[in-house]
């Protein structure tokens, strides 16, 4: 099978006259700059925020448990709120570091935040929700209402 037309990355048709060398177009040079390691490395220095943390949700007969992996934080960095069956878990942190030497001053600062919200089912007793932060894991325990808890099977006697 032969190639009829080669289309470069930027979508413009490639010249069929291969005898004439051409300089790269600005748009292809710009695209290539951000494809190599220099471009992505340069841009990654500006990504100091936190990505949205994943949540594991477990259920047993007594409760739901949400587990969020957020290492390197303090329990005072979190806000856990319930309002009209909406559970909100958020965090906002700022850091600043500066060094002064004879010939230079270096200052670094950062900011990160996230917010996750969940609609609680009617079976959750929102007055008894607890949150625990231990070893980089935020656990939010959502106890079920008494009437929503699974009851053990029982045998019915026939009279």
Better-predicted residue by pLDDT, 87 or 101: 87
pLDDT over 90 (residue 89) = yes
Instruction: Look up the pTM and report it.
Output: 0.59
Distance CA 155, CA 58 (A): 29
Q: How do the domains of the chain map onto residue ranges?
A: 55-148
Q: What CATH architecture applies to the domain 55-148?
A: Sandwich (2.60)
pLDDT over 50 (residue 22) = yes
**Residues 6 or more apart whose Cβ sits within 8 Å of residue 90:** 78, 79, 113, 114, 115, 116
Mean pLDDT calculated for residue range 96-121 = 85
């Amino acid at each position: 099978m032969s190639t009829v037309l080669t289309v470069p990355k930027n979508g413009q048709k490639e010249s069929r006259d291969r005898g004439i060398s051409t300089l790269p177009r600005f748009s292809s040079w710009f695209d290539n700059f951000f494809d190599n390691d220099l471009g992505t490395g340069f841009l990654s220095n500006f990504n100091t925020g936190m990505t949205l943390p994943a949540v594991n949700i477990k259920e047993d007969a007594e409760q739901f448990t949400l587990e969020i992996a957020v290492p390197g934080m303090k329990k005072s960095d979190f806000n856990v709120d319930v309002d009209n069956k909406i559970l909100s878990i958020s965090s906002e942190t700022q850091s600043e570091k500066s060094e002064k030497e004879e010939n230079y001053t270096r200052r670094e600062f950062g900011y990160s935040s996230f917010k996750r919200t969940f609609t609680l089912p009617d079976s959750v007793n929102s007055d008894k929700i607890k949150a625990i932060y231990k070893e980089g894991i935020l656990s939010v325990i959502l106890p079920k209402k008494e009437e929503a808890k699974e009851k053990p099977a029982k045998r019915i006697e026939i009279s």
